[in-house]
Structure 1
Amino acid sequence: MDILETHGLHSQVRTLTDSTRTAAEAAAALGCEVGAIASSLVFLADGEPILVLTSGSHRVDTDLLARQIGAAAITRADAARVREATGQPIGGVAPLGHPSPVTTYIDVELKKHGELWAAAGTPHSVFEISYDDLRSLTGATEVTVEEN
């Protein structure tokens, strides 16, 4: 991804033969913890697309998220809305490289992992990045997506 290099990051995009469509699949293919997978999920907050970068070990509590970001309702985007907002397919959505900016939130749980893996725009490609670099690069706002 030229975007990474442009920002001084030297992460390499890895293309895997195994699918990375789910966090569990990605973790198995990479030999890492599921929690170190930075899943890029598209939701609709009051009808507008938002991107939530969440730990692969978490499920997004949409009511909790809505309270934190001041939305009346949050629903999952369908495949057409995901592609419209990101230019990428479900299961391969990267946290960056979208046709236009998407308001982005990042799960603070990801801080617990030194090395994160995120999709690189296809269901078979990933790249490595730190939490701080991911947050900085995407301009994401920190949130809690799951109550413990």
Structure 2
Amino acid sequence: MSYETVVGYFKEVGRDEDILQFNSSSATVEQAAAVLQVIPARIAKTLSFRGQDEEALLIVAAGDTKIDNKKFKTTFNVKPRMLDAETVVEKTGHPVGGVCPFALATAMPIYLDISLQRFTTVFPAAGSRNSAIELTPEELYTYAQAIQWVDVCKEWDTSLT
């Protein structure tokens, strides 16, 4: 149902035809990059964390990044702890490997990492382990209804565009 929910969400804004569905898995950054024939950094991975008061939050970051524990704690005033797979599905409505910031099962804050701003377009998942949609970072921000851009990642290649 998750994929169908995301398609419905994008249908409301006239972008459902832009969702890509694949015959093979795009569940990991590497798989998605291979299927889309793009560099892994352009995959917009959605990461699920526990925020303050145990509330869930999502961070969408470039595929070549890792969470920087110090930056995360400074930004959110809590040590980064990822949600377990069962909680991810419960909170987002999307399966691990298809988690995206669209059409969520429960409302939660969504943040976009500045690592995505290097690219003209990026590819977040679309609610399944074999789908994606190509969006500009600004479109991603809008459609995800993000709260703000944050700087919570490390190890990304600033020379890539």
TM-score (norm 2): 0.84
Runs (4 or more) in structure 1 with deviation over 4 Å come to: none
Q: Say which structure is richer in strand.
A: 1
Q: How many percent identity over aligned positions?
A: 26
| AA in 1 matched with 2:38 | C
CA RMSD of superposed structures (Å): 1.6
Aligned length: 147
Aligned to 2:4: none
Alpha-carbon distance, 1:11 to partner: 5.4
Q: 2:34 aligns with which of 17, 21, 28?
A: 28
Matching residue of 2:117: 111
Could you say which residue in structure 1 is the equivalent of 2:68?
61
Q: Report the equivalent of 1:51.
A: 58
Greater fraction helix: 2
Per-residue deviation, 1:10: 6.1
The TM-score with structure 1 as length reference comes to: 0.91
The gaps in structure 1 that reach 5 residues or longer are none
Q: In structure 2, what is the Cα distance between the partners aligned to 1:117 and 1:23?
A: 10
Q: Give 1:59 shift.
A: 0.9
1:143 maps to what in 2? 150
2-structure distance, mates of 1:104, 1:92: 16
Residues 15 and 58 of structure 1: CA distance in aligned 2, closer, same or farther (over 3 Å):
same
Which of 74, 78, 100 in structure 2 is aligned with 1:72?
78
Corresponding residue for 2:3? none
